[in-house]
Amino acid sequence: MTHKGERWALLHVTDKTGIVELAWALKELGFRFIADPGTAATLRQAELEVSDVRSHPGMLRSLAASGQTGIRERSARAPSVELVAINLYPLAELAASELSQAETLSYVDAEAPALLRAAARSFRQVVCLCDPQDYGQTLEMLRQYGDISLERRQALAAKAFHYTAYYDSTVAQYLGSRWEKLPQELVMGLRRSAELGYGENPHQAGALYALSGARPWGVNQASLVYGRPLSFNHYFDLDTAWELAGEFSEPACAIVKHGVPAGAAVSKSLAEAARLAYRGDPHGCLGGTAAVNREVDEEAAAWFAEETVHCIAAPDFSGKALLALKAKKDIRLVTLPSTLISARELDFRSVAGGVLVQDRDHQGLPAAPKVPTKRQPTELEMNSLRLAWQAAKHCRTYAVVLARGGQTVGIGSGQTSRLDAVRLALQKSRERHPILSEDLPIVMASDGALCADHVQEAARAGVKAVIQPGFSSEDEETAKACDLHGLAMVLTGVRHFRH
Strands (DSSP E) contained in 337-478 are 346-351, 354-359, 400-404, 407-412, 442-446, 463-468
Has residue 232 been placed in a domain? yes
Q: Which of 335, 358, 375 is the last residue of a domain?
A: 335
pLDDT of residue 208: 93
Terminal alpha carbon distance of the chain = 66
- Can you name the residues that pair with 402 across neighbouring β-strands? 410, 444
Q: Which of 292, 316, 335 is the last residue of a domain?
A: 335
For residues 141 and 19, membership in a common domain is answered with: yes
pTM metric for this prediction: 0.84
For residues 400 and 315, membership in a common domain is answered with: no
Q: Judge whether 215 and 345 are in contact, CB under 8 Å.
A: yes
For residues 374 and 330, membership in a common domain is answered with: no
Has residue 182 been placed in a domain? no
pLDDT of residue 70: 39
For residues 273 and 375, membership in a common domain is answered with: no
Residue 244 to residue 492: CA distance in whole angstroms: 18
Q: How many domains does the chain have?
A: 3
Distance (Å) of CA 352 to CA 164, 185, 250, 318, 360? 26, 19, 41, 45, 21
DSSP assignment of 445-479: EESS---HHHHHHHHHTTEEEEEE---STTHHHHH
Q: Judge whether 390 and 249 are in contact, CB under 8 Å.
A: no
Residue range(s) defining the domain that contains residue 306: 225-335
For residues 383 and 279, membership in a common domain is answered with: no
Query: Please, what's the b/e burial string for 405-442 (b: 16 or more CB within 10 A of its CB; e: otherwise)?
Result: bbbbbbbbbbbeebbebbbbbbebbeebbeeeeeebbb
Q: Which of 286, 312, 335 is the last residue of a domain?
A: 335
HSE-CB at 494 with a 13 A cutoff on CA atoms is: 17
Q: Which residues contact 374 (CB under 8 A, 6 or more apart)?
A: 483
Residue 35 to residue 55: CA distance in whole angstroms: 10
For residues 24 and 79, membership in a common domain is answered with: yes
For residues 258 and 395, membership in a common domain is answered with: no
Has residue 211 been placed in a domain? no
pLDDT-flagged residues of the chain (< 50):
1-3, 68-76
Distance (Å) of CA 369 to CA 47, 214, 488, 492? 73, 32, 12, 5
For residues 128 and 255, membership in a common domain is answered with: no
For residues 256 and 149, membership in a common domain is answered with: no
Secondary structure class of 89 (helix, strand, coil): coil
pLDDT of residue 80: 82
Has residue 288 been placed in a domain? yes
pLDDT of residue 122: 92
Residue 410 to residue 424: CA distance in whole angstroms: 8
For residues 159 and 21, membership in a common domain is answered with: yes
Residue 3 to residue 400: CA distance in whole angstroms: 77
Count of positions (residues) in the chain: 499
Distance (Å) of CA 280 to CA 309, 425, 456? 14, 12, 24
